[in-house]
Amino acid sequence: MLPGQEDAITYFHSLSAAGFAATAISYGPGRMGFGLFVPELSEAFSLSPAMVGLISSLGFLGFFLALLTAQLLLNRRGPEFPVLTGLAAATLGMGLVSVAPNAGVLAAGVFFAATSAGFAWTPFNDAVHRKIRDVDRPTALSEISTGTSVGIALAGAAALVMVLTGVSWRLCWAVFALAGAGALVANWAALRQVDRAPPPAAGENWRALVRPEMAPIVGVGFVFGTVSANYISFAAKHITDSDGVPGMSVAATPALVFICFGLAGLAGLLTGRLRSWLGLPVLLRGAMLAGAGSAALVALVPGSWTGLAGSAALQGVHVMVTSAILAFWSERLFPAMPTLSFTVALLATAAGNIIGPAIAGAAYDTVGAGAMFLVTAALPMALLAVLRDRHLRDAATAPA
């Protein structure tokens, strides 16, 4: 074994596992738990669809602000500090939701829980770029991003247990908070060995990313953020309002949606290999078509197994594959600024996250959920109409 190769393999396993745990908590129950429990929370706190949209947007605003703060903390303290801050926020936020006496405390808990996603993922791009060999980076980044799938599936399983056993939704959120504390300890053990990155070289700053090749990433990120946030916030509610699916309790609908979502999202583990086999243009177009198909199915056939399982599975593929694409696409285009470029991609995603549910919540009340989801489905189709292969080939041929 060559000198340093053993360390690279060790870092590959430890960072991939730590990142997987961090994203499982922060992007699973932390970021998506509110959408999973919307029916129960709406009943407990008398939330209208518009209010659901506003609370969801507030959570995604926390994600947006945390992304900006994480970059500052990363530059000053290294990847350990922002990741641990995010997991602490997840534990606090989910704990607040579990004991919330009113909608105000609920909203605060959702806000803190969602900030964890902004704090806890992008620093891994920096750690992976510096500690893992170039050939292993796409696989490591795919494994880290796909932690979300397991987190969502397990959160869905917890919600299904709640329905089947009659336990309180508050207990589920308390369990989520305990899991967040466990991930916090595990990441502390893994990341304390990763030192702070060297100071950025001259010209390696936000302004250096204002380049034409960044525009496609920003566009993809914004559309991805809008589509995924609308689905997460309202799909389970729409299917529930349509009396669920044949043969299953209506109360089990949200759990089934998120279990299918999470399990199908495990396809994200194959993103690095699919990119090698298919190329980035084909892979990205497939991910966008999955998002459009997901929204269309839930709009047109919400009261069927096709509408539930089919839309949730396509959305899981859309979210996990696109997340992994953004991670290695930005790292490939800007190898000197892997975390900063990925942060810009996620800021575009967060902007879609904030704007999408706020508008969608109002549309749900006025034109109906079906029309709202059809408009959502049109967004990735419009993106595909203007996106050119040459933009994506630039990423494939960029120097490592």
pTM of the model as a whole: 0.81
| 327-377 per-position pLDDT tens digit | 778 877 777 777 778 888 888 998 998 898 889 988 988 899 999 999 999
Q: Which amino acid is at 111?
A: F
Query: Amino acid identity of 291?
Result: G
The answer to the question of residue 324 being in a domain is yes
For residues 212 and 207, what is the distance between their CA atoms, to the nearest angstrom? Answer: 12
Query: Is residue 140 one of the residues assigned to a domain?
Result: yes
CB atoms < 10 A from the CB of 105, how many? Answer: 14
Give which of 217, 231, 218, 221 is closest to 375, Cα–Cα: 231
Identity of the residue numbered 341:
S
149 inside domain: yes
d(CA 246, CA 244): 7
Would you state the structure tokens that stand for residue 307, as one six-digit string? 């509408």
In a domain, 327, yes or no: yes
Cβ within 8 Å of residue 55, ≥6 positions away: 34, 47, 103, 106, 107, 110
- Domains of the chain: total: 1
The answer to whether residue 205 is domain-embedded is no
CA 131 from chain centre, in angstroms, equals 24
Say which residues have a Cβ less than 8 Å from residue 37's Cβ, sequence separation at least 6.
159, 169, 172, 173, 254
Residue 4 CA to chain centroid, in angstroms?
A: 33
Work out the end-to-end distance of the chain between its first and last CA atoms, rounded to an integer number of angstroms. 24
Residue 264 structural domain:
10-194+212-397
- Alpha helices (H) in the chain, listed in sequence order: 5-25, 31-36, 38-45, 49-77, 80-99, 103-120, 122-131, 137-145, 147-165, 169-191, 214-241, 253-265, 271-278, 280-300, 305, 311-333, 338-366, 369-386, 389-397
Q: What is the pLDDT along the chain (400 residues), one digit of tens a residue?
A: 433 444 445 566 677 788 888 889 998 899 888 888 888 898 899 988 889 888 988 888 888 899 889 878 887 887 888 989 999 999 999 999 999 999 999 999 999 999 998 888 778 777 776 666 666 666 776 677 777 888 889 889 988 998 889 899 999 999 999 999 999 998 888 777 666 656 555 455 566 676 777 788 899 999 999 999 999 888 988 999 998 889 888 889 989 999 999 999 888 777 777 887 888 888 999 999 999 999 999 999 998 999 999 999 999 999 988 988 887 788 777 777 777 788 888 889 989 988 988 899 889 888 999 999 999 999 999 999 988 776 565 454 444 3
**In this structure, what CATH number is given to the domain that contains residue 77?**
1.20.1250.20
Is 201 domain-assigned? no
Residue 199 forms part of a structural domain: no
Residues listed for the chain? 400
| Domain presence at residue 303 | yes
Q: Please identify which residue in the block is written with the tokens 């745990």.
A: 21
Tell me how far apart the alpha carbons of residues 205 and 142 are, in angstroms, rounded to a whole number: 26
Is the distance from CB of 400 to CB of 335 less than 8 angstroms? yes
- Per residue in 146-177, pLDDT tens? 778 888 898 899 889 988 898 999 999 999 99
Positive or negative, the CA dihedral 129, 134, 140, 141 is positive
